[in-house]
Amino acid sequence: MNMSTPIKPARLRGDRVTMAHGGGGKAMRDLIEEVFTDVFLPPGSEDQARMTSAALAEPGAQLAFTTDSFVVSPPVFPGGDIGKIAVCGTVNDLAVGGAQPLWLSAAFIIEEGCEFALLRDIVASMQAEADKAGVRIVTGDTKVVERGAADKVFVTTSGVGVIPAGRNLMADNIRPGDVALVNGVLGDHGATILAARGDMALSTDIQSDCQSLNGLIEAVLSAAPNTRAARDATRGGLASALNEMAEAAGVSIELDETTLPLRPEVKGVCEVLGLDPLYLANEGTLVLFVPEDEAEAALAAMRATDAGREATLIGHAKAGPAGRVTMKTLFGGLRLVDTLVGEQLPRIC
């Protein structure tokens, strides 16, 4: 007797989304069930997810909540896709604040004509990354818009996590003398998207650094319990993240150009196009500040994880002037590293 799970008959017709799939009827239900809920397996069928966690009952624990929208073009690129970025970006926004991510929601704006195959790939990618990060996608929504009103698919994710009692990762905790660490190379995601768009005939083997960082942060906090603050260097890159942190803490930050981890390929792309790699987006790179006497322990903990094998010390916090970020250049001078004005590259996440 064959006890295997019976295969459900396919109900979706054709290979692309139509306006009927957003109309609230059977076609919409077929799309949601066959593409989304059969993979995500959310609890129940109500309009809200009802979740419990023992972590929330701990005295002093705090609830953390974040939301973000993703419109990256192209939606699939070397090293990831819009679904993977949606999960990683939301997990990382929680994790750099000290939260342990638990649950995500996922809402999709789908353009008429979008291929079912693309949606299935995106959903599978999201579920795989959620499993890797230890989070669950528990609720969501779909909307279909007319052809030309979007670009295949946009994704909005919200995330809920718990900050354990006594944990406080905030930029205003940074003190003069603290050291700045990054977990890996800079600018890979921005350079990957540039090449993937094909507008400039760039040929490169660079892949996006898109990855979830909650495991790495937990490892660092165990090894260096006085870690001050963390920030993921996404839009605006490392430079913008450091400027925000320096301003919040009322310190200055000095980088050392000789220690910045950059691939030769990224340097080459930036030189050809006149871009600064400090401002290129990352999707799996963070900067964190720790007391100097915990720097070696933090680096060792980072390098013991897959996401932090290339971790390095890149600079120090100093007493002033408040909010200024500078970089000691290869030639021994100091260069001002200001906040990004405008956008080097739109739709990178």
Helix (H) or strand (E) segment spanning residue 147: none
Query: What region does 321 belong to: left with phi over 0, alpha with psi -120 to 50, or beta?
Result: beta
Average pLDDT value over all residues in the chain: 93
Is residue 15's pLDDT more than 60? yes
What percent of the chain shows pLDDT beyond 90?
82
Q: What is the average per-residue pLDDT within 108-116?
A: 98
Q: What pLDDT is recorded for position 3?
A: 45
Is residue 195's pLDDT more than 50? yes
pTM of structure: 0.94
Is residue 5's pLDDT more than 50? no
CATH code linked to domain 19-163: 3.30.1330.10
Instruction: Catalogue the E-assigned strands of the chain.
Output: 62-70, 76-77, 80-81, 100-111, 136-145, 153-163, 179-182, 229-232, 252-256, 286-290, 312-318, 325-328, 334-336
Q: What is the average per-residue pLDDT within 42-58?
A: 86
Which range among 43-52, 107-116, 240-249 shows the weakest confidence by mean pLDDT?
43-52
Which class would CATH give 171-336? alpha beta
Is residue 112's pLDDT more than 50? yes
Is residue 251's pLDDT more than 60? yes
How do residues 139-169 score in pLDDT, each as one tens digit? 999 999 999 999 999 999 999 999 999 999 9
Q: Is the dihedral of CA 281, 282, 288, 294 positive or negative?
A: negative
Long-range contacts formed by 12-20: CB under 8 A, 24+ apart = 12/116, 14/116, 15/115, 15/116, 15/117, 16/112, 16/113, 16/114, 16/115, 16/116, 17/110, 17/111, 17/112, 17/113, 17/114, 17/115, 17/116, 17/119, 17/144, 18/112, 18/144, 19/112, 19/144, 19/146
Tokens of 264: 């030769």
How do residues 204-226 score in pLDDT, each as one tens digit? 789 999 999 999 999 999 999 99
b (16+ CB within 10 A) / e for 67-86: ebebbbeebbbbbbbbbbbb
